Structure 1
Amino acid sequence: MNHPSQSLPGRVRAGYALGSLVTGAFGTVPGLLLLPYLTDTLGVAAGIAGLLVLAPKAWDVLINPVAGRISDRTRTRWGARRPFLLGAGLAVALLFAAIFAAPIKSGVYVALTFLATATAYAFYQVPYVAMPAEMTDDYTERTRLMTWRVAILAVAILVSGALAPVVTKQFGDGVPGHRAMGVFVAMLILIGTAGSFFGTSRAPTGRVLESEASLKTQLRTAGRNKAFTRLLVCFIIQAAGIATMLAGVSYFATQVLRDPDTGSTVLFACFVGPALLVMPLWSRVGAKIGKLRSYFLSSLVFAGAAALMALAPVLPAAAVYVLTGVVGCGYAGQQVFGLAMLPDCIAYDAARTGRRQAGVFTGLWTAGETFGLALGPGIFALLLAAFGYVSSDSGTAAAQTDTARLGVLLGFTVVPAIVVALALFTLRGYDLDEERLSSRSEGQGEALERTA
């Protein structure tokens, strides 16, 4: 089916959006619970635990572009992307449960199973992110599609991030609690896999264009797309900042808010709940002032609220939770506009070169995003080590010094705020707008007609 210029059916939007249960759960829960699982249940030192979390995700920097190229060259009756949604999604669910199964209490076992899960996830995420550029060539429809996707992403973050700690505690913390949590999250991933595969069965697949001959050539071509490279660098840096905050949720709830039982769940509810409400507002803001300005605005909202949370030790808990909600509102906008600008970059490249290589662009994108998300726990772990955080193998956090608690506070607030704000400087020179994309698309259409 060729590119449609009209709106996509609601069933297709909803089906595609359900894939965010997979990306949201895998992107959230390891960043939230894997580091404290290693430091406070398996007794791994903070610095080493950070490396164990970082290394498997860093592997995705290599595997994601390969997954993109493979999906670009795939031809099946289900299209190029959908077979990967089913096969890789099932593998992610099974392997995720295995991460926390803990047949042995070993950080090496966790690292190896996490590596396997990250590899399977690459073959789900890259084709999934490539699909919007091929489902529609309408500039505004891409924003609508991303709004649906980010809305489900927010639900996935809320359900997985808020309930995973609850499930863990319900089953007794420690290894048994984490084992039950792994199965719970695996079920969410299975639902997202089925929804995205079957829900997009009637989605347009776009015109199949010739792909570049080699991965090296494709990477070189992507590097020539200056708008893409600027957006990619910004998104990677911001992902690292966001993931640093995410990695600190459990520590912040325990050491700063002094609420180890419900603090993590309430923080996540406050983070995601308001984000769901402002999603339509961000869509209207984007239509009025454009995607790029909206991206800047949402990033500054995130950074400003995160910085103010450094006052948490002297603020009432209610004020901290309100600021968390503002952070979530900013995060929602970042996701909507960043993900809506990516298909614009891909469409611009297709119009410029006449070649089909969405998978390479999304492979680089997801590799960069995954690497940024992996850097976050690493950064937070280094802060813990630098400020003297003490690990434990009892399933509960050990008593910490005031210095260690200061490291937790800075890692959760000031550091993410600075990283997210500074990343915006990389977007100087980004110049893709609706008018420029429309002129490129018209030129490509005329060239194809002359060729025919």
Structure 2
Amino acid sequence: MVLPQRREARTLRRGTVVRYAVGSVGTGGFGTLPGLVLLVYLTNTLGVSPAFAGAAFTVSKVWDVIIDPWIGARSDRSLARTGARRRFMVLGAIGLPVFFVLTFAVPPGLPEAASAAWVLVAFLLAATAFSLFQVPYIALPAELVDSYDERTRLLSARVVVLALSILAFGGGATELVRLVVAGGGTEYLGYLVMAAVAGLVFLVAFLITATVERSVRGGSPVPASGTGTESGPTAGLLEHYRRGWSALRGSQPYRALLVTFVIQALAIGLMLAGAAYIAAEVLGTGVLLLFLSLIAPALVVTPLWAVIARRAGKERAYRLASVLFAVAALSLILLVWFPGSWLYAPVAIAGAAYAGLQSLPLAMLPDTVADDARRNGPGRAGTFSGVWTAGETAGIAFGGTILSVVLAVTGFVPTVAGQTATQPESAIVGIIAGFSVIPAALMLLSLVPLSRYPLRRADIDRTARPAHALPNGSNPA
């Protein structure tokens, strides 16, 4: 086994923490909006059937699963050659606003199939641009800091910003559409304005975060191990997937954490997609208050999860957050018999747990990268983050797919802009089940792979060293 050189752990500067966290303004926004509004935009504005809408949404996300590991491997090569992953992040920052606006620029009156195809192609391009930023972004913590607790600090700051972003986009996006309609505009125009405002925010946030690498790397090339460059610059797509599979096979801690996170992403994606339907069809209100009750507690308790992680360990804190979320979600099944504003209380508890479900696994991910570098040699942080992003994307996407299937099976009635429909009781039950019982069951299922996660504080702090350190101080040719 090849061991990297030991060196003193680095301490994060406040400016580095801030600039890294700012990226979550954009990642939180793009991670929230498609799941929240894209499905309802297709079914309630464009008149696309739930089954057709779910298929279009899922295909675009499957593309993410295909492209993310490739982006991760290519960003590893960029790091090895230039000392930075910044080029990918800037390309994503510029491309995402353009394609996101196009996603919500469907001309009124198009046939159902044409509307679905327009959204599919535009969103596929937007998702690709987002991955160009997101994959290197997730890889950075393993390279910015070495300490077990400092990683928790970095990711806790990110989650505070993420929670604010989800609140702003989740509540503000639908309110912006409503304001445009109230001012005499159409729903089509409302969604287009929403996308344009969101795209501008994505651009600014991503460009700010793209500068965080400069102060850490200084622009000098970073040596890469044989695990990251063995196939040379002409490696094809299949080679990158081979590396992703090798990462899964070669790191049991990473594998356990990834499976846990993907199952939980499926549960969260399902609840996120169902929020707009719960607000409209069960509560008869807008979605803003529902998002306030979910995200406001997350803002308050995120530092508390960091404290619990320091005292009990990240893995125990993560398990606690998972159980808390599952119990809160399961209680929402009572909406079938007792619809009312009482649901905001369990949603707030789920929001408190959600803060831990976001910050803790992302703080554990660089620990698995460091463990892999110690055991197998460095150079795979981008590959790890690429597979991770693909798994998260797949989980959230198939959460929306599950909801679309539930809606189709239970008889949900789609509408176009300006129309209303009385939903059958079976559809209401389906919406509530998709918001409560199914996510709760998935969250409890995720505890099985989490129980197999082996890393503890002593494993990480045994050797504090950079993720890119070379064995025996060697230097690449």
TM-score clears 0.5: yes
Aligned-residue offset at 1:192:
1.3
| Partner residue of 1:228 out of 244, 247, 254 | 254
Kept in 2, the 8 Å contact 1:231–1:427? The answer is yes
- Deviation track 1:338-360 (CA, whole Å, cap 9, x = no partner) reads 10111000111111122211000
Q: CA RMSD in A?
A: 2.3
Work out the CA distance in 2 between the residues paired with 1:395 and 1:421. Answer: 40
Over 3 Å counting, the alpha-carbon distance change for 1:451 and 1:192 in structure 2 is closer
- Deviation track 1:37-66 (CA, whole Å, cap 9, x = no partner) reads 101111111111111111101111110010
Aligned-residue offset at 1:28:
0.4
Kept in 1, the 8 Å contact 2:81–2:222? The answer is no
SS in 2 for 1:201: helix
Which residue of 2 is the match for residue 412 of structure 1? 435
Which residue of 2 is the match for residue 69 of structure 1? 73
Structure 1 residue 178 corresponds to structure 2 residue 204: no
Over 3 Å counting, the alpha-carbon distance change for 1:94 and 1:216 in structure 2 is closer
Which residue of 1 is the match for residue 377 of structure 2? 354
Aligned-residue offset at 1:398:
1.9
Which residue of 2 is the match for residue 278 of structure 1? 301
Work out the CA distance in 1 between the residues paired with 2:79 and 2:465. Answer: 27
Aligned-residue offset at 1:201:
3.3
Gaps of 5+ in 1: none
- Deviation track 1:281-325 (CA, whole Å, cap 9, x = no partner) reads 111011111001111100111111111112135557442112111
Structure 1 residue 398 corresponds to structure 2 residue 402: no
Number of residue pairs matched by the alignment: 448
Work out the CA distance in 2 between the residues paired with 1:74 and 1:444. Answer: 15
- Deviation track 1:83-131 (CA, whole Å, cap 9, x = no partner) reads 2222211111221111101135411100110111111111111001000
Aligned-residue offset at 1:216:
4.8
2:271 alignment partner AA? M
Over 3 Å counting, the alpha-carbon distance change for 1:250 and 1:395 in structure 2 is farther
Which residue of 1 is the match for residue 278 of structure 2? 252
Structure 1 residue 131 corresponds to structure 2 residue 140: yes
1:132 alignment partner AA? P
| Partner residue of 2:243 out of 214, 218, 227 | 218
Work out the CA distance in 1 between the residues paired with 2:19 and 2:442. Answer: 34
Work out the CA distance in 1 between the residues paired with 2:102 and 2:358. Answer: 29
Identical aligned pairs, as a percentage? 37
Structure 1 residue 89 corresponds to structure 2 residue 93: yes
Over 3 Å counting, the alpha-carbon distance change for 1:109 and 1:86 in structure 2 is same
2:243 alignment partner AA? Q
Structure 1 residue 100 corresponds to structure 2 residue 104: yes
Alignment of 1:51-62 (within 5 A): 51-62=55-66
Structure 1 residue 115 corresponds to structure 2 residue 124: yes
Work out the CA distance in 2 between the residues paired with 1:56 and 1:200. Answer: 30
Gaps of 5+ in 2: 1-5, 231-238
SS in 2 for 1:421: helix
Work out the CA distance in 1 between the residues paired with 2:106 and 2:82. Answer: 37
> What is the TM-score when the length of structure 1 is the normalising length?
0.94
Work out the CA distance in 2 between the residues paired with 1:7 and 1:117. Answer: 35
Which residue of 1 is the match for residue 224 of structure 2? 209
Over 3 Å counting, the alpha-carbon distance change for 1:81 and 1:415 in structure 2 is same
Work out the CA distance in 2 between the residues paired with 1:447 and 1:26. Answer: 36
Alignment of 1:281-430 (within 5 A): 281-315=304-338, 317-430=340-453
- Deviation track 1:132-154 (CA, whole Å, cap 9, x = no partner) reads 00111111111000001111111
Work out the CA distance in 2 between the residues paired with 1:410 and 1:35. Answer: 17
1:221 alignment partner AA? S
